[in-house]
C-alpha cells in the first residue's frame, strides 16, 4: 500500500484526505492519505522518518511550509517563494515543491477564464499564500500590485517578484478600478463576514479569486458577483494544488471532477 499525507498543526479538519482518496479510488490504487501533527521541534525527525518508512509523498501546511524548505531539495519555484507545500520522496533526496502557486494560476485561468498574460493583477496579502500567488501571476505575464496591511511586507515581496510593486491597504481604491484580476490572499473573511476590499471599487470586468475557502461564499465574492465580476472560490485553488501534487507523485492525470465532488461534499458537511 502507498501512503501519502499532510503534515501541519492543526490538521484535524483538513479537506485533503477525502479529495486525494477520491483520486485513488478512480485510479484503483491501493493507497491512503493520512494526517500528521508533529511537534514543531520534531519536524526534521518527522520528515526523515517519513522518508525512512517509505511514505510516498507529503503535503505541508501551516506552520511548517517555510521550515521544511531547508529539509528537502526545493525546486526553483519553491525556493523563490520560500515555502514548500508538497514533498516527493521518490528520488534519492526528498524534493520540495509549491503547488499553491500553480493551483492559483489554474483556478484563475480554468474557472475564471482569466487571461493572465498582460493583465494587471492586485494581490491582497503578502503572507505565505500571497507570496505564492504573486510569483505565479508574475510568471504568467501579469503586472502585479501587492497590497498588504503591513506595507513593509508588501514592498519587500514586490522587490523579489518581477514587474511588481507594493502598497498598503489604502491604495485599493486607486488600484482595483484599473485591475483585470483581484486575489484575496489574506485570512480576512474567514472568521467574520467582512471583505478586505471596499465593495465600491469592484467592477464587472474583474476576475476575483478568494483564497479563503471556509466559508466558500465570502463577503468579497458576494460583493464581486453583485457587480457582475467573475468569481472563483478558494476551493478551486485548493483543488488544483491537490491535483498538481497528485500528478507529481503518481505521474497520472488527476481526476478533477471526482476530487472536486469529494472536496465540496466535505465542505458542505462541515458547514
Ligand atoms: P499568513 O502567512 O498568516 O498571512 C496572512 C495574511 O493575511 C497577511 O498578509 C496578513 O497581513 C493578512 N491579514 C491577516 N489579518 C488581517 C486583517 N485583519 N486585515 C488585513 N490583512 C490581514 O497566511 P496564509 O498562509 O498566507 O493564508 C492566507 C489565507 O489564504 C488563509 O485564509 C488560508 O486559509 C488561505 N489559503 C488558501 C489556500 C487554498 O488553496 N485555497 C492555500 C493557502 C492559503 P499582515 O502581513 O499585515 O499581517
The reply to whether 48 and 122 lie within a common domain is no
Instruction: Tell me how far the alpha carbon of residue 29 lies from the centroid of ligand 1, in angstroms.
Output: 35
pLDDT tens sequence across 19-48: 999 999 999 999 999 999 999 999 999 999
Q: Return the best residue to mutate from 105, 129, 132 for the ligand 1 pocket (most ligand atoms within 8 A of CB).
A: 129
Contacts of 93 (CB under 8 A, 6+ apart): 72, 73
Q: Are residues 119 and 55 in the same domain?
A: no
pLDDT in tens, 175-197: 999 999 999 999 999 999 999 99
**pLDDT confidence of 64, banded at 50, 70, 90?**
very high
Q: How many domains does the chain contain in total?
A: 2
Q: What is the mean pLDDT of residues 238-261?
A: 98
pLDDT computed for residue 163 by the predictor? 86
Question: pLDDT tens digits for 86-127?
Answer: 999 999 999 999 999 999 999 999 999 999 999 999 999 999
Best of 66, 149, 154, 198 for a ligand 1 pocket test (most atoms within 8 Å of beta carbon)? 149
- Average pLDDT of the segment spanning 232-254: 98
Q: Which of the residues are catalytic?
A: 65
Mean pLDDT of all residues in the chain?
Answer: 97
Q: Are residues 131 and 250 in the same domain?
A: no
Question: Which atom of ligand 1 is least distant from the CA of 65?
Answer: 25
Q: Regarding predicted confidence, which is higher, 163 or 81?
A: 81
Does residue 153 contact residue 131 with C-beta atoms inside 8 Å? Answer: no
Q: Please give the grid coordinates belonging to residue 264.
A: 465540496
Hey, how many other C-beta atoms are within 10 angstroms of the C-beta on 266? 18
User: For the stretch 45-54, what's the b/e string if a residue is b when 16 or more beta carbons lie within 10 angstroms of its beta carbon?
Assistant: ebbeebbeee
Output the 3-class SS for the chain.
CEEEEEECCCCCCCCHHHHHHHHHHHCCCCEEEEEECCCHHHHHHHHHHHHHHCCCEEEECCCCCCHHHHHCEECHHHHHHCCCCEEECCCCCCEEECHHHHHHHHHHHHHCCCCCCCCEEEEECCCHHHHHHHHHHHHCCCEEEEECCCHHHHHHHHHHCCCEEEECHHHHHHHHHHCCEEEECCCCCCCCCCCCCCHHHCCCCCEEEECCCCCCCCHHHHHHHHCCCEEECHHHHHHHHHHHHHHHHHCCCCCHHHHHHHHHHHHHHHC
User: Angle CA(151)–CA(155)–CA(157) in degrees, nearest 5?
Assistant: 115
Q: Which range of residues forms the domain containing residue 57?
A: 2-98+236-269
Ligand 1 pocket test, pick from 106, 112, 125 with the greatest ligand atom count within 8 Å of Cβ, gives: 125
The cell numbers describing 193, all together, are: 463576514
pTM for the predicted model, two decimal places: 0.97
Distance 184 CA to ligand 1 centre (A): 8
Q: CB under 6 Å to ligand 1: residues?
A: 62, 100, 103, 125-130, 148-150, 153, 185-188, 190, 196, 211-213, 234, 237-238, 241
Examine the domain organization and report whether 25 and 123 are in the same domain.
Answer: no
Nearest to 72 by CA among 47, 52, 35, 54: 47
End-to-end CA distance of the chain: 33
173 within 8 A of 142, measured Cβ to Cβ: no
- What's the gap in Å between 16 CA and the centre of ligand 1? 19
Quick one: 157 and 79 in the same domain?
no
Distance from the CA of 28 to the center of ligand 1, in angstroms? 36
The CATH number of whichever domain residue 63 belongs to comes to 3.40.50.10860
Residues 224 and 107 reside in one and the same domain: yes
Same domain, 82 and 130: no
Q: What is the pLDDT of residues 132-158, one digit of tens each?
A: 999 999 999 999 999 999 999 999 999
Same domain? 116 vs 56: no
Instruction: Say how far apart CA 108 and CA 69 lie, in whole Å.
Output: 27
Q: Are 163 and 190 in contact (CB under 8 A)?
A: no
Q: Note the pLDDT of residue 12.
A: 87
The reply to whether 109 and 217 lie within a common domain is yes
What are the φ/ψ torsions at residue 38 (nearest 5 degrees)? -70, 155
Ligand 1 atom 46, closest CA = 150
Amino acid at each position: 500500500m502507498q501512503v501519502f499525507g499532510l503534515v501541519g498543526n492543526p490538521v484535524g479538519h483538513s479537506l485533503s484526505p477525502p479529495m486525494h482518496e477520491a483520486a485513488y479510488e478512480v485510479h484503483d490504487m491501493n493507497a491512503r492519505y493520512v494526517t500528521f501533527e508533529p511537534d514543531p521541534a520534531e519536524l526534521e525527525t518527522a520528515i526523515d522518518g517519513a522518508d525512512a518508512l517509505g511514505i510516498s509523498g507529503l503535503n505541508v501546511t501551516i506552520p511548517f511550509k517555510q521550515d521544511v524548505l531547508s529539509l528537502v531539495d526545493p525546486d526553483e519555484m519553491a525556493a523563490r517563494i520560500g515555502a514548500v507545500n508538497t514533498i516527493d520522496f521518490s528520488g534519492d533526496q526528498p524534493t520540495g515543491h509549491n503547488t499553491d502557486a500553480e493551483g492559483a494560476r489554474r483556478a484563475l485561468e480554468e474557472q475564471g477564464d482569466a487571461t493572465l498574460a498582460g493583465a494587471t493583477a492586485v494581490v491582497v496579502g503578502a503572507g505565505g499564500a500571497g507570496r505564492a500567488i504573486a510569483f505565479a501571476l508574475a510568471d504568467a505575464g501579469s503586472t502585479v500590485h501587492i497590497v498588504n496591511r503591513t506595507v513593509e511586507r508588501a514592498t519587500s515581496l514586490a522587490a523579489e517578484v518581477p514587474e511588481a510593486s507594493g502598497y498598503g491597504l489604502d491604495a485599493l481604491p486607486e488600484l482595483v478600478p484599473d485591475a483585470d484580476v483581484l486575489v484575496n490572499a489574506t485570512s480576512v473573511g474567514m472568521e467574520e463576514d467582512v471583505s478586505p476590499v471596499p465593495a465600491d471599487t469592484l467592477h464587472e470586468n474583474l476576475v476575483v479569486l478568494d483564497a479563503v475557502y471556509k466559508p466558500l461564499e465570502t463577503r468579497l465574492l458576494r460583493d464581486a458577483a453583485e457587480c457582475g465580476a467573475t468569481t472563483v472560490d478558494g476551493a478551486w485553488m485548493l483543488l488544483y494544488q491537490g491535483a498538481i501534487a497528485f500528478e507529481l507523485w503518481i505521474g497520472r492525470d488527476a481526476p478533477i471532477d471526482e476530487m472536486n465532488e469529494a472536496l465540496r461534499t466535505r465542505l458542505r458537511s462541515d458547514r
